[in-house]
Chain A
Amino acid sequence: MDERDPFLNALMGEVRMLLSRLLDDGGPGQIDLMRLPMPPERRQDLQDMLGRGEVEITLDAAGTSLIRETAYAGVWWIEHRDRGGRMVANLIEVAQMPAIVPPTDEEMRASLAALHARDMKEAGR
C-alpha cells in the first residue's frame, strides 16, 4: 500500500466528501475509475486502501459484474464486465445500496402479476 501517493490521497478525499454529502442527504455519488490514470498497481493500492466489507454481490446481466462493499460502509467498489470478461466500467459508488441492485416497483409489480397468474393457473387445474 502506498499511502504517499498524492493522487490516491486526493481520491480518498473525494470519497470522504461524497460520503459526507450522502449523509447530508445530498444523494449518492460515483467516481469513474476508468477515466482516471489508474495503472494496475495504483488500482490495487486503492483497493487495499478501501479494504473489504461484508457484502459481495455478483450481478449477471450482459456479463458478470462484481459489486463489493468496502471497509467503509456506504462505499462500494463496482466492476462491470461484458460477456467476454472485459471490464467495461469500474466505479466507486457512494450510496446506501448501488442503484443497479434493488428491483424497481415496476419490476416487483410485474413479478406480482406473474405470481398471481401462476396461482390462477394452479387453482384451475
Chain B
Amino acid sequence: MKPRDTLGQKLAGYGISRRALLKFAAAAATSLALPPGVAPAIAESLSGARRQSLIWLSFQDCTGCLESLTRSDAPGIERLIFDFISLDYQETLMAAAGAAADETLVRAARDNHGKYLLAIDGSVPTAEGGVHSMVGGRTNMDMLAELAEGAAAVLAIGTCAAYGGIPKAAPNPTSAVGIADLVKEKPIVNIPGCPPIPEVLTGVLVNFLTFGRLPDLDDLGRPLAYFGTTIHDQCYRRPYYDQGKFAHSFDDEGARQGWCLFELGCKGPTTRNACASLKWNGGTSFPIQSGHGCLGCSEPDFWDKGSFYTSLSGGEGPPWDAVGGAAAVGLGIGGAAAFAARRSRAAVDRQLAKEWQRDHGATATSKTEEDGP
C-alpha cells in the first residue's frame, strides 16, 4: 500500500491526525447523545466520506447566525467539521463577487445536483412577490424554490429561517415566513436560536455524513438530541425553583444569591434548546448563568409572546401548588433519586402551559397535556 493511500496520510493531508479525529468523534458522539462506543465508527465514516457540498444562502437576516457559527477566538473542536465539508457558496465568506459569484452558485448546484445540503439563514419575505429581499436581481423565494429542488436536504439555520423569527414579528410588514412554509418536498431540519448554537450544526452535519440521514427531529423539526429537553430541565438554578426561591429584581438579594429568574420573565420552562448544557463562547456561560432569564429565542414567535420580563404565569410567580409538590419530592428523597423525580417536571411544565394558554388565549393544546406524568 502506498503511504498516500492510508487513512493516516489522507487525514494528515487535511492537517488532522487520527487521534484528533477520534477525539472529534468522541465529542460528536457526546453531543449527539450517541453511545461513546460509536466514536471509532464515526471517525471511520468521516475519514472515508467524500467532502460534502454545502450551499449556504443568507436571506432576510442580520448575519448574527453566521457570526455565531464562524467566529471564535479559540476554535473549538467542532470547527473540525469544516474539514469534511466543501462550503461551495456563502456570500459573506466567499472572495468572489458579482457575476463570478453567480457562476459559482450555478456550478456548485449543477455539479452536486441531488447531493448538496442547502443551508439557509434568514426568513423569506413573501409580500409583493418577495421583492423585499433580493440577491443579484432574484428574490429569495425564487432562489429557494430553485435550489431546494436540487438539494438532498435543507438546513434552516436560526430562528428566522426556521420559523420566520424577528422579521415575522407583528406586524410582519414583509409577510416573512420560515423555510418549511415554502419547501414541502425536501427533508428539512430546523436549527433555531437567535443565534443558534454552533455545536448543533456540527452535530447535524456529523449525523448526515456518518449515517447518511438527518438526525431524529421533534414536532417542530428540531434535532431531538439538542432540543429534547427544556432549558428549565437542565438549568443549574432549578433547585431554587423547586424550593420556591426567586429573584424579584435584578439587584435584590435573591439575584445576588443566584436564585431562580422565573419571576423576572425567564422563559426556560417553555423553551427547548441546549444552552444550559453546551453553553456559549467556548462553554463559558449562558444567559441564565449571566443573571438574565432565557428569552425563549429558539421557539416559534418568541418575539410576540409578551414582554421578556413578564413571568410565564403573568407576573404573579410560579404555579405554587406544582412547585410545592416538586420541592417536597426533591427534599424528601435527595440525590440521584431526586434527579429521576424531576421527570415529573412535566407536571410543572403542563401547569405552566395551561397558565400561558389561559393568559394569552392560545388555542393549541400542549402535546404533553395528553401524556401521563
Contacts and interface: CB of A to CB of B under 8 A. Distances in A.
A123 to B, nearest CB: 20
Nearest to A32: B36
A7 B335 contact: yes
Interface in B38-94: 40, 72-78, 80
A62 B22 CA distance: 10
A124 interface: no
A8 B75 CA distance: 34
Given A35-B30, A61-B19, A89-B30, A7 B336 contact: yes
A82 interface: yes
B335 A106 contact: no
Interface in A79-121: 80, 82-91, 99-100, 104, 106-107, 109-110, 113
Contacts of B74: 82-85
A86 B339 CA distance: 25
Interface string A1-13: 0001111101000
B245 to A, nearest CB: 18
A32 B35 contact: yes
Contact of A104 (B8, B30, B283, B337): B8
Given A7-B339, A86-B282, A110-B9, A91 B26 contact: yes
What band does the interface of chain A fall in when counting residues whose beta carbon is under 8 Å from B? 35 or more
Contact of A88 (B6, B18, B76): B76
Contacts of B337: 6
A51 interface: no
B51 to A, nearest CB: 19
B33 interface: yes
Q: B interface, by DSSP: helix, strand, loop or mixed? A: helix
B282 A62 contact: no
A99 B283 CA distance: 26
B171 interface: no
Contacts of B8: 104, 106-107, 110
Nearest to B2: A113
A6 B76 contact: no
Most buried by B among A59, A90, A107: A107
A87 B22 contact: no
A106 B7 contact: yes
Contacts of A23: none
A49 to B, nearest CB: 14
Contacts of B16: 62
Given A7-B335, A109-B3, A109-B6, A34 B76 contact: no
Nearest to A37: B339
Contacts, number: 110
B223 to A, nearest CB: 15
A89 B29 CA distance: 9
Contacts of A34: 30
B3 to A, nearest CB: 5
Given A6-B335, A37-B339, A110-B9, A80 B36 contact: no
A87 B277 CA distance: 12
A89 B336 CA distance: 22
Contacts of A5: 335-336
Given A61-B17, A99-B22, A110-B6, A88 B37 contact: no
Contacts of A39: 236
Contacts of B36: 30-32, 89, 91
Contacts of B77: 62-63, 80, 82-83, 88
Given A37-B339, A82-B27, A85-B282, 14 more contacts: A6-B336, A6-B337, A7-B336, A61-B17, A61-B19, A63-B23, A82-B78, A84-B72, A89-B29, A100-B23, A100-B26, A107-B8, A110-B8, A110-B9
The 8 A-B pairs of least Cβ separation, nearest first, read A7-B336, A84-B74, A88-B27, A30-B36, A62-B20, A61-B20, A86-B283, A82-B77
21 contacts: A6-B336, A7-B336, A29-B37, A35-B30, A59-B19, A59-B23, A61-B20, A65-B23, A80-B27, A84-B76, A86-B282, A87-B283, A88-B27, A88-B76, A89-B36, A91-B26, A99-B40, A104-B8, A106-B6, A110-B3, A113-B3
